[in-house]
Structures are given as structure tokens and as C-alpha cells.
Structure 1
Amino acid sequence: MSVLESLIDAVTYAALRTKLAWLTHKVHAHAETVNRLAAEVDDTAEQMQDASETMKALAVDTATVAEFADAALTMTGAREAAGAYTAAADSASAAADAAKSTTENDHGGIADAVDTSPVEMAEAAFYTQQ
């Protein structure tokens, strides 16, 4: 189910809050995964570079040293890409938090009033403006 389908499914404010809480949690979980993987890529890039330098110091043949240096360079590129992806994941987390807060701030009072009202709500059609 897409995010849009999920939100369309939320026909009540309570359901919308539940959906937004769930989606916000998922975005944060994915952002944490991205951050963890970016750190692992960073560690691997450093290890590859260290291995290349160690082999060079031990006078290992230049072809092998070059292969490790190339791998380190590739991992460094992956690390930079992971950094950009991490920034995007952080932005998505902030946007999810903002959407959740905006929904609660804009509609929370209405929901509280409806929940505490001693009068039953009319059918939705009654409240539409024409």
C-alpha cells in the first residue's frame, strides 16, 4: 500500500494520527538504518585505505597495492554517496515529524471537542459547504 493510499484510508482524525505516527516511525527507522550503514561504509573505506598503505609499506607488489587503493577509492565514493543519502533521510525524518505535528496542531482541538461533546455528530454531508 502506498503512502497516499494509506492516508486516503485514514477517514477519521484518529485514524490519520495513527497512520502518521506509524509512517513517522517507519521514516525514522529507515533513517537510523541509513545512518548505521553509512558508518559501516565509512569504516570499510578507512580499512581499505589502511590495508593499501600497509601493503605499500611492506613492499607488496604494486598491482595488489593498486587494487586495494582502487577499492578504497570506490568505498570513499560510496561513503560520500551514503552521506548524501543520510542527509536526505534526516530531511525525510524532519518532514515526517512536521507533518505529524501540523496535523495534531491544526486538527487536535477539533478532535478533542468532538470527543468530549455531549451531542452526537451529524452525518458528514451536513458539514459540507456548497
Structure 2
Amino acid sequence: MSVTESLKDAATYAALRTKLAWLTHQVHEHADAVTTLASDVNEIAEQMQDAAETMKALAVDDATTAEFADAALTMTGAKDAASAYTAAADSAAAAADEAKTTVESEHGGIADAVDTSPVEMAEAAFYTQP
């Protein structure tokens, strides 16, 4: 479900705040999962490199040692990609926090005024500025 689709049912400010809180939480969970994955990939890359060096020190044949070294190189590339993805996920989490904060700071007072007002709100057209 896209963000746009998930916000379509947020017809009120309160519903929008609830939905934004949920989406922000989801983005943070995703960023945490990506960070954990990047760490795991980094650890595996280091282990593969250690295995290649150990085999070389033990005079294991060059072809086998080269295969492990190639695997370590591939994992290092994956680690670099995971690190870039982690940075992007962190940026997305920060943007989600900013969106939530902006909605609350720029519209929170209005919602509070409406919620505590002793009179019903007029139709939106009544509040339109010429």
C-alpha cells in the first residue's frame, strides 16, 4: 500500500495524525531492519575474507582460496550497498519525523481550538479568505 493510498482514509486531522504516527513508526522499523541487515552483511564479508586468508595461510589450493576471496569481495560490495540503503532509510525516517512534526506544529492549534470550541464549525467555505 502506498503512502497516498494509506492517507486517503485520513479525512480528519485526528485521523491524519494517527496515520502519520503509524507511518512514521513503520519507516523507523524498516530503517532498524535495514541497519541490522547491513551489520550482518558486514560481519559475513569480514568472515569470508578471514576464511580466504586462513586458507591461503594453510596452503589451500589457489582456486578454492580465490573463490572465497571473490565471495568476500562480493559481500563487501553488498555491505557497501547495504550501507547506502541504511543511509537512505535513515533519511526517510528523519523525513517522516519532520512530516509528523510539521503537521502537528502547523495544524495542532487549529485542531485543539476546534476540539475545545463550544460551537460547531461552519462549512469550510465560510472560512475561505477572499
TM-score (norm 2): 0.95
Aligned to 1:115: 115
The separation in 2 between residues aligned to 1:127 and 1:6, in whole angstroms, is: 28
- CA offset at residue 8 of structure 1? 2.7
- CA offset at residue 6 of structure 1? 1.8
Aligned to 1:59: 59
Aligned to 2:70: 70
2:117 matched to 1:126? no
1:37-62 Cα deviation digits (max 9, x unpaired): 00000000000000000000011011
1:116 is aligned with what amino acid?
T
The separation in 2 between residues aligned to 1:112 and 1:99, in whole angstroms, is: 19
Measured on the aligned residues, the alpha-carbon RMSD in Å equals: 1.1
The separation in 1 between residues aligned to 2:13 and 2:128, in whole angstroms, is: 16
- Of residues 66-75 and 1-10 in structure 1, the stretch that sits farther from structure 2 once superposed is 1-10
- CA offset at residue 75 of structure 1? 0.2
- CA offset at residue 9 of structure 1? 1.9
2:13 matched to 1:24? no
Show structure 2 runs of 5+ residues with no match: none
The separation in 2 between residues aligned to 1:43 and 1:59, in whole angstroms, is: 24
- CA offset at residue 129 of structure 1? 4.8
Question: What percent identity do the matched residue pairs reach?
Answer: 79
The separation in 2 between residues aligned to 1:32 and 1:102, in whole angstroms, is: 23
Aligned to 1:48: 48
Aligned to 2:86: 86
The separation in 2 between residues aligned to 1:42 and 1:127, in whole angstroms, is: 57
1:9 is aligned with what amino acid?
D
SS at match of 1:122: coil
Show structure 1 runs of 5+ residues with no match: none
SS at match of 1:9: coil
